[in-house]
Every structure is written in C-alpha cells, then in structure tokens.
Amino acid sequence: MAADETIIAGQSVGKYILNMPYETILELLNEEKYVVRDLMEYTVVECSNIKFWISKKDKKAKQILVQGSFEGKFCDAIGIGSNLTQVKNHVGEWYQELDAYYVKNHIGICFQLYDEDDWNADTAPIQFISVFTPDL
C-alpha cells in the first residue's frame, strides 16, 4: 500500500471504497497476502496493514481499518502514530465511546490508541484508524 492512500471519513481508504464488493477488493489486493476470517455477520479480510469487514448480507465492505506501517493520512494530517491532540488541532473536537475516539464533525471515522504504560488519551499514539458506513 502506497504512502499516498488518502483516508476519507465514511467513504474510503485510497482505492478501497466503502460498499465496494468483496470480489473487487480481492482483485485490488492482487498479489498482497491476506487471511480471511469468518465471523457471524461479517467476513474479515486481513492484510499486514489493512482489514476489511464485508457484510454477509450484501457482500460489500462496511468497515476498513488501517494499522501498522500504513502511511496514508486523514485530512492530510492524521495517520498511524498521530495523537488526539493533533486530531483536535487539525480536524476538530473528538469524543470517546468505549475504546474508540470519534471526530464530532466527521461522520464515519474513528481512532483507537496504543495502550501505553503512562497512558494519556491526548498524547497516546493512534494505533488503528477505521472508516465505516454511517449506518454501521
């Protein structure tokens, strides 16, 4: 996955678009190695730095999660390793629900943080970024 993979809340991660058919995602992955896991309502396709949750109902992507070495950015500023202080400064106020952090003025994106010893929500690095269909 290239460094120019833009993250758009509620829409896409680079060439991967929410509601994209399962078979299209597999075609776009091309030579990249992936593992498929079967859950109750979803099929999860896992690669080294991206995961897709595919609805079993319509066989389309409902959530895309990036992690690890993924270098793409949300709003040209926020990526893996950024923190919630940067989120607030660049894209707006955030709020927490369970272990995920959402941006008030951007529907369809959330962040999860690394669990560190001296953990502070404002400064802990972002470990996962998910984009999802607003109806999820």
Distance CA 20, CA 85 (A): 32
Given a contact cutoff of 8 angstroms between Cβ atoms, the answer to whether 46 and 37 are in contact is yes
How does pLDDT run along the chain (136 residues), one tens digit per residue? 454 589 999 999 999 999 999 999 999 998 889 999 999 999 999 999 999 999 999 999 999 999 999 999 999 999 999 999 999 999 999 999 999 999 999 999 999 999 877 788 899 999 999 999 987 5
Hey, what are 69's tokens? 């070495």
Hey, what are 4's tokens? 């120019």
> What DSSP element (H or E) covers 38?
strand 35-38
